[in-house]
Chain A
Amino acid sequence: MSYQGKKNIPKITSDRLLIKGGRIVNDDQSFHADIYMEDGLIKQIGDNLIVPGGVKTIEANGKMVIPGGIDIHTHFQMPYRGTTTVDDFNQGSKAALAGGTTMIVDHVIPEPGTSLMEAYDQWRQWADEKTCCDYSLHVDITHWNDSVKQEVDNLIKEKGVNSFHVYMAYKDYYQMSNSELYEVFTFLAERGGIAQVHAENGEIIAEEQARMLQMGITGPEGHVLSRPEELEAEAVFRAITIASQTNCPLYVTRVMSKSAADIISQARKKGNVVFGEPITASLGTDGTHYWSKNWAKAASFVTSPPLSPDPTTPDYLNTLLSSGDLSVTGSAHCTFSVAQKAIGKDDFTQIPEGVNGVEERMALIWDKAVTTGKMDENMFVAVTSTNAAKILNLYPRKGRIAVGSDADLVIWDTDSIRTITAKTHNSAAEYNVFEGMELRGAPLVVICQGKIVLEDGNLHATSGVGRFIPCSPFPDFAYKRVKARKQLAVLRAVPRGMYDGPVSEFSMSRGGTPSASARTSPTKQPVRNLHQSGFSLAGPPTPDDVPIRPAGRRIVVPPGGRSNITSLS
């Protein structure tokens, strides 16, 4: 498997490559040009390049040359109740390369209560040992307190992580309350991070699960019955509301249903900064399989949010992806063996969640969106690679074929047809959720870090060559608008004279609009509170009666006169 000794690639030329006669496809335009690469970087683009002798040349013969795919959502080697997913960083990144993906972004999932930093280090170690392609990391925030805050700050500033994932589902485990979400989003907005959410209403799910089990529904169909797509849409709506309040860019992972996608596209039309990520599974298959008589097959589709039982969903999501309402595609590749899935054989809530898709992702989008005429090839590059690079702030190093960019390239064969099956896929899982699907479009040659890793159907991946690519905060793609809005949406108080009329006395028993802060009055008081009259005739209201904030605080008239804020906020 190692690089040397394979076929006709001489060792000397490994760092120098020339792709001749290809059509370069970026997200903005396509053009014919040759590409010369050296030391893992693209050095020259154009016609009639002057290159050193002895350079290995690949004849593209007019085929498309696209930036290598970026799979923005994977779970390789994820620990789960004492075991790990069957695809580790080696197996997983090989599958990625075989599908034309040259960079993955994996999720670091610390157990609630444990250190984010330690988990990050652990993931880095696993990945550095084994990955065959460049990678980056998202960190999941599974609990929230001041020390987590500190760690998040460090991760952003020193460790090259700019995206953090929070959960609205998994009650009593990962789930965060609305207030916590508000605080996390506020914090990330200050530090320039991207807030990713797993959007499902965990509380209602818990109730529904209990109900399903009570009704005697224990098989995988219970999974989708207890997580109807409404709950996904509801959570997406709520996440968008919170993000908009805190002026934080939002990224919704795993858009699985039409209604969730609709909410995102509506919000975008209203101007919210929100990105939606459908995954390979939601773009390629549907949830009818949960009712399969074959338990193992049904269980292999279990993921959260679940695949929608509505068979028109994939088509719809592909349409929104083409129109730009959904921005990026991931795979959420997280594979368990049948024996692992069988932990939940008598209780669907125990089935480990995850589907495959890292290998099929690009071909599936090509087949479902480009060959059907929904999407053009430039948009294809945008949703499989460029947009992800922009969100991660890696653009133009990744996601573009340009001088100076990393030499992660794919020569795409638009006509190749193959049938997906678990027998030939690169994942270690026994089931493939796309089993039997015929896909048009496949990578012909994959170049990663300037080296050929896939050619003529043979994979030459090397374990451990993958580098960690640090992401810096405040990606323009997400934050430019946010910054501009921050300047506009400054709230101002109305300068008024002091109110000096009568003030009703009141007892601070309970009730009233709770001002959640600790500010509210420790003063227990007045004797006269049972009077019917609303008027307190007793002379000038003493500040003591009013249990408030710095008393006698006169608001100074600002130089600009009164404010005119109406609907801006």
Chain B
Amino acid sequence: MSGSGFQGKNSIPHLTNERLLIKGGRVVNDDQSFYADVYIEDGLIKQVGENLVVPGGVKVIEANGRMVIPGGIDVNTCLMKPFLGTQPVDDFLQGTKAAIAGGTTMIIDHVTPQPEDSLLEAFERWQEAADKRACCDYSLHVDIPQWNESVKYELELLVQEKGVNSFQVYMAYKDVYQMTDSQLYEAFSFLKQLGAVVLVHAENGDLIAQEQRKILGMGITGPEGHPLSRPEELEAEAVFRAITLGNRVNCPVYITKVMSKSAADTITQARRKGSVVFGEPITASLATDGSHYWSKNWAKAAAYVTSPPLSPDPTTPDHLHTLLACGDLQVVGSSHCAYSTSQKAVGKDDFTLIPEGTNGVEERMGFVWDKAVAMGKMDENQFVAVTSTNAAKIFNLYPRKGRIAVGSDADIVIWDPDSVKTITAKLQQSASEYNIFEGLECRGAPAMVLSQGRVVYEDGNLQTQQGTGRFIPRKPFPDYAYQRVKFRNQVKNKQGVTRGIYDGPVYDVIPTPKYITPAPSAKTSPTSHQPPPIRNLHQSNFSLSGAQIDDNVPRRSGHRIVAPPGGRSNITSLG
């Protein structure tokens, strides 16, 4: 299969590859479905409607009333994430082939630099690799492994010149990627100014480290230690904290890999309160559960290891689908990061060393159809929204991607809702030996996939071409995430109260102030080195000598607040 060039494959003549007409299909966007023909030229959708006037000699695809949907966008893949010197077995070629076979025509991969690496260099390395090998359009998130001044500069560059508008921060992986709350606050503030979307890996790393130690100490070394040391509470806690930070900074927050009911519920509640937060369940959390960690087959159990872990609660997938259907969760990723069994076996005697990642890029759309649409939870328009349109909106690709409309990219899937197949590692595109969905029956699959206006998959045959994938740059300040934030910025201005200066007695403070909640800025008094006042041992609380008042208060003195023209403020519950 690999490297199969475009030409020479069955019935598509070379000439017509730039011009295509899809006839008689039912176009399904996220807002409506309608019957129309779609005419494609030069990789773009040129006309949508009935009785189109098209040039002669155009290749015509008969859709026969089947669904014509925008190609899927997988917002979370890790096709090049290094782990202890090795790389996932699915690289950009293998991974994007799997994506296309599943009806996904665009991926957004995570650039994962190591702490101390330059983000920019890592980004360029990823881009180079993807340009050479990707078979479908792609874009890149950049992970921020640590927070410091030089990172800031690189982030600015990435946003303004490199077309990256989303960055991932980690609340887990203590002593490696994990950021403290203060760092997160700063990162959120900074990224918000840049108009970027903050992706959060939400798990409480401190507690995980403690639990891992405890579990190893109990002699539990197998993959079951992984979920035992990362209970879903820790995920929910971190989600809650991330949302709190987002609210404080007034910054949109995007939770990657929603794996448990409680994390999803936390997001739901926050959205009810008006927080700008998005949740991304992944194929694995939507289709299987964590009971397999207890499998007697080590290799199988290890194949499920990912973080946050799959929840051992078997009702989780169903719950997540319900929330996806009602719009509380917005996008579906795959977090596809496939390691071979021998790579996983690095952790055969210590679960904390098992490389993390599951497959799912190929199965993503099929399972959402099977578990949500075929079950009657979700309609076909919402299906398009969660697999494609919402992702395009959040990451500012809309309407170029995620919609069938004149002017959009010709990434189109003809969807067959009735095809039934059984997932198995033997038939998958991925190179890994295990498929965590092994044996599951899945209804719904792409019948034909068009990427950049070319047929790349038809009736089970891939016709991909290595290196055709383009990097799609993304602009900052996506409306879908930032419009509300902008308005809130205007409303949320805080004002001090204008008062006369307090001129009563002030208690003398011994310097070396200990009980101050530290105002971390440099503002706090360089003057606090003054000699201690002599009178500080007096019992009386009253300092009768007025002249000393200002001397002992280590701040700008005589700072009079001028009354604003609008009179006093009435802020009550806004803040």
CA distance A188 to B377 in the complex (A): 47
Contact with A along B543-568 (1 / 0, CB 8 A): 10000000001011101010000001
B237 within 8 A of A: yes
Given A82-B509, A493-B222, A516:B174 Cβ within 8 A: yes
CA distance A555 to B225 in the complex (A): 14
Contact with A along B231-254 (1 / 0, CB 8 A): 101101100110011011000000
Q: Which of A209, A339, A509 contacts B505 (CB 8 A)?
A: A339
Given A82-B510, A339-B542, A502:B234 Cβ within 8 A: no
CA distance A412 to B82 in the complex (A): 71
Of all chain B residues, the one with the shortest Cβ separation from A237 is B240
B341 within 8 A of A: yes
Of all chain B residues, the one with the shortest Cβ separation from A509 is B85
State whether A203 touches B494 (Cβ < 8 A): no
Set of chain B residues within 8 Å of A291, measured between Cβ atoms: 497, 568-572
A169 within 8 A of B: yes
CA distance A535 to B204 in the complex (A): 34
State whether A511 touches B346 (Cβ < 8 A): no
Q: Which of B265-302 contact A (CB under 8 A)?
A: 291, 294-299, 301
Of all chain A residues, the one with the shortest Cβ separation from B550 is A346
Q: Which of A173, A225, A237 contacts B514 (CB 8 A)?
A: A173
CA distance A311 to B571 in the complex (A): 12
Among A44-52, A147-155, A228-236, the stretch that binds chain B is A228-236
Q: Which of A447-502 contact B (CB under 8 A)?
A: 491-499, 501-502
Set of chain B residues within 8 Å of A224, measured between Cβ atoms: 575
B153 within 8 A of A: no
Contact with A along B327-369 (1 / 0, CB 8 A): 0000000000001111101101110111110000000000000
Contact with B along A292-319 (1 / 0, CB 8 A): 1111101000000000111100000000
Set of chain A residues within 8 Å of B147, measured between Cβ atoms: none
CA distance A495 to B295 in the complex (A): 10
Q: Which of B173, B228, B497 contacts A514 (CB 8 A)?
A: B173
CA distance A222 to B559 in the complex (A): 16
B139 within 8 A of A: no
Of all chain A residues, the one with the shortest Cβ separation from B525 is A347
State whether A213 touches B519 (Cβ < 8 A): yes
Given A245-B233, A569-B231, A81:B514 Cβ within 8 A: yes
State whether B296 touches A514 (Cβ < 8 A): no
Query: In which size bucket is the chain A interface?
Result: 35 or more
State whether B84 touches A215 (Cβ < 8 A): no
B499 within 8 A of A: yes
State whether B181 touches A338 (Cβ < 8 A): no
Contact with A along B496-539 (1 / 0, CB 8 A): 11111110111111100111111111010000000000001100
B86 within 8 A of A: yes
Among A14-22, A53-61, A370-378, A544-552, the stretch that binds chain B is A544-552
State whether B299 touches A501 (Cβ < 8 A): yes
B406 within 8 A of A: no
Set of chain B residues within 8 Å of A565, measured between Cβ atoms: 294, 312
Q: Which of A258-273 contact B (CB under 8 A)?
A: none
A566 within 8 A of B: yes
B5 within 8 A of A: no
State whether B502 touches A295 (Cβ < 8 A): yes
Q: Which of A242, A346, A349, A492 contacts B220 (CB 8 A)?
A: A492
Among A95-103, A176-184, A358-366, A394-402, the stretch that binds chain B is A176-184
Q: Say what secondary structure dominates the interface of chain B.
A: loop
Given A224-B575, A295-B502, A504-B343, A231:B174 Cβ within 8 A: no
Given A179-B210, A183-B210, A343-B506, A350:B342 Cβ within 8 A: no
Q: Looking at the assembled complex, report how far the CB atom of A541 sits from the nearest CB atom of chain B, in whole angstroms.
A: 8
Q: Which of A80, A178, A293 contacts B207 (CB 8 A)?
A: A178
Query: In which size bucket is the chain B interface?
Result: 35 or more
Given A510-B176, A534-B89, A309:B572 Cβ within 8 A: yes
CA distance A173 to B512 in the complex (A): 13
B182 within 8 A of A: yes
State whether A293 touches B568 (Cβ < 8 A): yes
Given A228-B248, A231-B248, A491-B228, A207:B185 Cβ within 8 A: yes
Among B66-74, B211-219, B393-401, B470-478, the stretch that binds chain A is B211-219
State whether B244 touches A234 (Cβ < 8 A): yes
Q: Which of B115, B208, B248, B541 contacts A337 (CB 8 A)?
A: B541
Set of chain B residues within 8 Å of A491, measured between Cβ atoms: 215, 218, 220, 228
B224 within 8 A of A: yes
Given A201-B181, A291-B569, A346-B559, A504:B176 Cβ within 8 A: no
State whether A562 touches B345 (Cβ < 8 A): no
B186 within 8 A of A: yes
B313 within 8 A of A: yes
CA distance A81 to B532 in the complex (A): 12
Q: Looking at the assembled complex, report how far the CB atom of A67 sits from the nearest CB atom of chain B, in whole angstroms.
A: 36
Q: Which of A384-436 contact B (CB under 8 A)?
A: none
Contact with A along B160-180 (1 / 0, CB 8 A): 000000000000011110001
State whether B237 touches A502 (Cβ < 8 A): no
B573 within 8 A of A: yes
A542 within 8 A of B: no
CA distance A234 to B494 in the complex (A): 22
CA distance A506 to B211 in the complex (A): 25
Given A288-B572, A502-B345, A534:B176 Cβ within 8 A: no
B428 within 8 A of A: no
Of all chain B residues, the one with the shortest Cβ separation from A516 is B209
A2 within 8 A of B: no
CA distance A209 to B516 in the complex (A): 12
Given A207-B186, A309-B575, A504-B346, A494:B555 Cβ within 8 A: no
Set of chain A residues within 8 Å of B314, measured between Cβ atoms: 566
CA distance A219 to B180 in the complex (A): 29
CA distance A224 to B574 in the complex (A): 11
State whether A496 touches B222 (Cβ < 8 A): yes
State whether A493 touches B225 (Cβ < 8 A): yes
Set of chain A residues within 8 Å of B11, measured between Cβ atoms: none
Of all chain A residues, the one with the shortest Cβ separation from B275 is A230
State whether B494 touches A504 (Cβ < 8 A): no
CA distance A228 to B494 in the complex (A): 13
Set of chain B residues within 8 Å of A569, measured between Cβ atoms: 228, 231
Set of chain B residues within 8 Å of A540, measured between Cβ atoms: none
Set of chain B residues within 8 Å of A233, measured between Cβ atoms: 240, 244
Q: Which of A75-112 contact B (CB under 8 A)?
A: 80-83, 86, 111
Q: Looking at the assembled complex, report how far the CB atom of B277 sits from the nearest CB atom of chain A, in whole angstroms.
A: 13
A208 within 8 A of B: yes
CA distance A549 to B220 in the complex (A): 11
State whether A530 touches B234 (Cβ < 8 A): no
Set of chain A residues within 8 Å of B86, measured between Cβ atoms: 504, 506, 529, 534
Set of chain B residues within 8 Å of A551, measured between Cβ atoms: 349
State whether B543 touches A216 (Cβ < 8 A): no
State whether B541 touches A511 (Cβ < 8 A): no
Q: Looking at the assembled complex, report how far the CB atom of A38 sits from the nearest CB atom of chain B, in whole angstroms.
A: 42
Of all chain A residues, the one with the shortest Cβ separation from B178 is A514
CA distance A506 to B276 in the complex (A): 41
A515 within 8 A of B: yes
Q: Which of B298-331 contact A (CB under 8 A)?
A: 298-299, 301, 307, 311-314
CA distance A231 to B243 in the complex (A): 11
Set of chain B residues within 8 Å of A119, measured between Cβ atoms: none
Contact with A along B427-467 (1 / 0, CB 8 A): 00000000000000000000000000000000000000000
11 A-B contact pairs sorted by A residue (CB < 8 Å)? A172-B518, A173-B516, A213-B521, A215-B494, A225-B575, A340-B541, A349-B519, A497-B298, A502-B342, A534-B86, A549-B349
B residues bordering A, Cβ < 8 Å? 82-87, 89, 114-115, 173-176, 180-182, 185-186, 204, 206-213, 215-216, 218-222, 224-225, 228, 231, 233-234, 236-237, 240-241, 244-245, 247-248, 291, 294-299, 301, 307, 311-314, 339-343, 345-346, 348-350, 352-356, 494-502, 504-510, 513-521, 523, 536-537, 541-543, 553, 555-557, 559, 561, 568-573, 575
10 closest cross-chain pairs (CB), A and B: A515-B352, A516-B209, A178-B206, A506-B84, A203-B181, A534-B340, A241-B237, A217-B496, A507-B85, A234-B244
